[in-house]
Amino acid sequence: MVLRFSARSGVAAIGFFVLCTSIAVPARADNPPYNIKDGKVDIHVYNGYRRYGDSCMRCHGPDGAGSSYAPDLTNSLKHLSEDQVKETIINGRQNLANGQDKVMPSFGTVADVVNYLDDIYAYLKARSDGKLPRGRPERYDDN
Ligand code: HEC
């Protein structure tokens, strides 16, 4: 009887613990690399948007939404880590399997890209998280 009681309270304790961590973990993970206030973006996201337009859009399409040649990055960033995204940008990637001839160029020596990896990531992450609609964003810190 005593044993059963403590087993049950043990389960309750574990349940409580799981409940707490499941609340706490998303809160900790919820630390986005972008700031958006009233639909307006910080200077980093804005810069990322511009760099994306200069270096990535011709393959990945407007707003990161993908093209017939290169993947939809708003989708890719849902399953790739920040490190994986940056690694792919720096080293590029070739997909020559199954008769494919798709090439993601390496941007490791392109200063306009490697110096702003955080900004490009922030922009794409905001798009991927559904926090930023398509099109040219407005900046909130206009200075
Ligand atoms: C010349 C065309 C081209 C340009 C320019 C280009 N990419 Fe790519 N990118 C590709 C292709 C093609 C792939 C898919 C390669 C594969 O199938 O493995 C890809 C893959 C990626 C991936 C991995 C996606 C996934 O789901 O695994 C990321 C992230 C990425 N590109 C980001 C960028 C960023 C950011 C830029 C601009 C700095 C950029 N790309 C510029 C063609 C391009």
Q: Of 140, 141, 129, 126, which Cα lies nearest the Cα of 38?
A: 140
Lay out the sheet containing 138-139: strands in order across: 36-37, 40-41, 138-139
pLDDT tens by residue, the chain, 143 residues: 455 555 555 555 555 554 544 454 444 456 899 999 999 999 999 999 999 999 999 999 999 999 999 999 999 999 999 999 999 999 999 877 777 888 999 999 999 999 999 999 999 999 999 999 999 999 997 65
Nearest CA to ligand 1 atom 25: 76
User: Ligand 1 atom closest to Cα of 75?
Assistant: 26
> With a 6 A CB cut-off, is 17 part of the ligand 1 pocket?
no
> With a 6 A CB cut-off, is 77 part of the ligand 1 pocket?
no
Nearest CA to ligand 1 atom 19: 104
Rounded to two decimals, what is the model's pTM? 0.82
Nearest CA to ligand 1 atom 22: 88
Q: Of 137, 89, 135, 93, which Cα lies nearest the Cα of 113?
A: 89
Centre of ligand 1 from the C-alpha of residue 104, in Å: 5
